[in-house]
Amino acid sequence: MTSTIVHSLVHIDGSFCEGGGQILRNAVALSALLSKPISIPNARHNRRPPGLRKQHEAGINLAATICSAETEGVHLASTSVTFKPGKIELPKTLTADPGTAGSTTLLLQVSLPCLLFSSSPTSPSQLTLCGGTNASQAPQIDYTQHVFLPFMKRHFGVDIALKIMRRGYFPKGGGAVFCSVPSLTRALPPVTLTERGPVRLVRGEARVGGLPFILAERMKNAARATLLAGGVSPTAIRINAVRESQEEAFGSGGGILLLAETDNGCVIGGSSVSTKSKAPEEIGNEAAEELLRNLRHGGCVDGYLQDQIIIFIALAKGRSTVKTGPLTDHTRTAIKIAEQMTGATFHLEENPSGFVIISCDGIGYTPSL
């Protein structure tokens, strides 16, 4: 007689902490990897309006396709989702398109963990993500390209190729990003990152599409002035202004990303996205001020990267230790979901001066045959 292990539903409160889309993304990704069915009531409870938007629907459906999942409640405005994963068989060639300016980077967040592990060697999966590339309420695609993916390569040995085919700005979207995701047959190594080292360079790009080049110049100049006022050496600042061609961008918009590189290989970001209600100078100032805040606390990762690495250190084999700035609600949410889904244990050492040491004993995940 043979027996089959049947996992009971794991119930995850969608109103916990930040109560937004990150709960959906992290829980669904871990559900697919670990073959644990989940139910999420109160989905996006703390957002107005609550419930799924088109980008969440597209992201969950993308993960469902990767792992042949059965789903319930995956539709616009739904406040309750059930996700019952099947087997992940790689490689995959997939396209996801919410039909809106929904963030391509958030689509990558839900799908990447699902594509990262294989029980036997295989060629990379190919992923085309459509929608918004530079929007508020999500990391810009430039951040993913220049901060998150280099972190994955440096610390986990995962070399994910990303190409921006076309930028899509809010509210039209219309962007397209291509990713090639290799899969691993081994567990991820732990991360030890506690010494940032001095800043040696602040580089960046202020960019516009469908708008006059002078607006990018004004963003750049404002950011530079704020960095100088914040004590950054003028010889360390290298910011370019860029105007995209009509073929390179859909719609009109812009933004700025600043990156501080340190002697120890850390990359700290600061960014802002253009809106009609804000002058270019305000956008440049916001990005520079965010970067300066991220530098002051002495952490090795910034606020955006802080929450994105939680899934991966929970899955890694051994103890990871990362020094960061004050914890965001997104990070507290990510830790809660990771502990509930994986059984990894986290320890937080919050220092009165502002920095936090995140330690995690990961589970050493490898896919079953």
HEC states along 87-143? CCCCCCEEEECCCCCCEHHHHHHHHHHHHCECCCCCCCEEEEEEEECECCCCCCHHH
What's the pLDDT tens digit per position in 243-289? 998 889 988 999 999 999 999 999 999 999 998 889 999 999 999 99
Bridge partner residues of 237 (DSSP): 202
Report DSSP state, residue 184.
Answer: B
Distance between CA atoms of residues 113 and 31, nearest Å = 10
> What angle do the packed helices 21-34 and 104-115 form, to 10 degrees?
20
Tell me what the mean pLDDT of segment 10-24 comes to: 92
For residue 369, what pLDDT is reported? 60
- Domain co-membership, 251 together with 233: yes
- Domain co-membership, 93 together with 181: yes
Q: Does the structure show a pLDDT above 60 at 196?
A: yes
- Domain co-membership, 137 together with 151: yes
For residue 368, what pLDDT is reported? 78
- Domain co-membership, 337 together with 291: no
Tell me the residue range of the domain where 132 lies: 89-185
Q: Which of 87, 122, 150 is the last residue of a domain?
A: 87
- Domain co-membership, 110 together with 233: no
Residue 137 marked ligand-binding: no
Residue 306 marked ligand-binding: yes
- Domain co-membership, 138 together with 128: yes
For residue 240, what pLDDT is reported? 97
- Domain co-membership, 335 together with 191: yes
For residue 37, what pLDDT is reported? 98
For residue 4, what pLDDT is reported? 40
- Domain co-membership, 172 together with 288: no
What's the pLDDT tens digit per position in 131-167? 999 887 889 999 999 999 999 999 999 999 999 999 9
pLDDT band at 2 (very low <50, low <70, confident <90, very high): very low
Q: Which of 154, 185, 216 is the last residue of a domain?
A: 185
- Domain co-membership, 305 together with 191: yes
Indicate which CATH number applies to the domain containing 345.
3.30.110
pLDDT band at 333 (very low <50, low <70, confident <90, very high): very high
Q: Where are the beta strands (DSSP E) in the chain?
A: 10-11, 38-41, 70-72, 80-84, 93-96, 125-131, 161-168, 175-181, 192-193, 199-209, 237-244, 249-250, 253-262, 267-273, 317-324, 345-350, 356-363
pLDDT band at 15 (very low <50, low <70, confident <90, very high): very high
Residue 169 marked ligand-binding: no
Q: Does the structure show a pLDDT above 80 at 1?
A: no
What's the pLDDT tens digit per position in 77-134? 999 999 999 999 999 999 999 998 889 999 999 999 999 999 999 999 999 999 999 8
Would the CA dihedral through 265, 329, 206, 252 be positive or negative? positive
User: Can you give the pTM of this predicted structure?
Assistant: 0.95
Contact 310, 330 (CB under 8 A): no
Q: Does the structure show a pLDDT above 70 at 3?
A: no
Residues designated as active site: 330
The number of distinct structural domains making up the chain is: 4
- Domain co-membership, 279 together with 348: no
Q: Does the structure show a pLDDT above 70 at 5?
A: no
Q: Does the structure show a pLDDT above 50 at 361?
A: yes
Residue 348 marked ligand-binding: no
H/E segment holding residue 150: helix 149-156
pLDDT band at 341 (very low <50, low <70, confident <90, very high): very high
Tell me what the mean pLDDT of segment 290-318 comes to: 96
Q: Which of 87, 115, 135 is the last residue of a domain?
A: 87
DSSP, collapsed to helix, strand or coil, labels residue 277 as coil
In percent, the amount of the chain with pLDDT more than 70 equals 98
- Domain co-membership, 255 together with 245: yes
What's the pLDDT tens digit per position in 285-301? 999 999 999 999 999 99
Beta-carbon count within 10 A of 113 CB: 21
Indicate which CATH number applies to the domain containing 282.
3.30.360.20
The residue behind tokens 């068989």 is 89
- Domain co-membership, 286 together with 215: yes
Tell me what the mean pLDDT of segment 303-331 comes to: 96
Residue 307 marked ligand-binding: yes
Tell me what the mean pLDDT of segment 55-74 comes to: 97
